[in-house]
Amino acid sequence: MSLFGKLKNALFSKEAVSERKEITVYFENGLLTRAVPPPGTDLYECREIIYNARYIVSDGRKYDLENVRSIESIRSPEFDYFDNSEIGVTGNLVYILRMKASRLKKDGKVDVAIALLKRATEMMPNSKVGWTKKDYLRFPDWLCETGEFEAAKTARNCIEKSFETTLNANRQLQLHQLENAEKLNTDLVEANYFCGCCGECAKYRGRWFSISGKDGRFPKMPVDYGCNCQGISLHPVIENISKPLYCPENKDIVEYSNRPFIDDRDEKEKEIHQHYLDRGVFESVKYQDKEDYEKLIRLIPDEMPKSFSAYRRMKMSETDKFLCISEEASKLGMNIRLPEKEKLIIDRYNKYEKALKENNKTQ
């Protein structure tokens, strides 16, 4: 094994992570700059050690990431763009706080983990990262797991409402990329090509656009484009320097960018997008089931199965035992029966997931 390989193995061993837990990680304008003591390799290679660090210094102020009061005092910085960091988005303060929170939760330090995730979530809108709704919903999901149902519902409603207005992730990302384009002194952006997008996004993917519309060779960038599906994103490109990422080799980028604006997805791509929509229903039902289960196990403990997974299985199969529980829940003002439409969607989702797993096994 090479010297570098031995060094890397040593850095990532459990013992090394434990020994380096007292490492202090430094940030300026929300970006990771260094770690003290130095971990012995570049920041990207040692990111697992950084995610495990207990102490950070952000813009000159030191915080203890395993102390709730200290966590609550973390000031939100004036975030710089993560592409100015040598390790990209993984060096963003919010990203690292979220990773640390996950490790604390795994170690059983749930109260501290939730406090840290809460503070990270509060900083997410200003962090220059295009977080998705699912990223934001991790916080109410964790609250629900601990039985904090009212707090979880309040947080979830706030996030849902925010995404209807100012927190649309794609709109956020587009704004940031336009600012990047201005810094690069370019009028051109490229839309990525994502096969799981909706029919509307499919019309735009893979093209180059002129931001101002003054470059007549390319279509004008759509104004206020933002879609709630997995969507597309726009990235600055520089003519004669940037190579088109999605344009077929036998086509000219100008020609490709001016192809008809139609939904050109094939059946497989439409199937992938439908699965994305089904997953949203699946996650929403699972969230509600978890909330119902935690309530019912306190109200009618003798009637309830011992585990949440057993409860979900009997609900989906509508066993006699579940129907009895449903009657008791109705007396308490709770409707826990799954509507037929949602049952069909979840059944379709599960079949697709099963097929994916079987396909992966054969590859």
What is the reported pLDDT for 279?
A: 86
CA atoms within a 13 Å half-sphere pointing along the CA-CB vector of 90: 11
Residue 84 has pLDDT above 60, yes or no: no
C-alpha 90, offset from chain centre: 13
Cβ contact 25:96 at 8 Å: yes
What's the whole-number mean pLDDT along residues 47-61?
89
The domain spans of the chain are 3-127, 132-167, 178-257, 267-362
Over residues 185-224, the pLDDT tens digits come to 999 999 888 777 888 888 988 999 999 999 999 999 876 5
In this predicted model, which residue has the larger pLDDT, 116 or 15?
116
Residue 253 has pLDDT above 90, yes or no: yes
Residue 237 has pLDDT above 80, yes or no: yes
What is the reported pLDDT for 83?
A: 53
What is the pLDDT confidence band of residue 358, given thresholds at 50, 70 and 90? confident
What is the reported pLDDT for 194?
A: 75
Closest residue by Cα to residue 83 from 167, 166, 179, 169: 179
Distances (CA, A) of 251 to 195, 247, 258, 335: 20, 7, 11, 57
Record the pTM.
Answer: 0.56
Cα–Cα dist 97/120, whole Å: 6
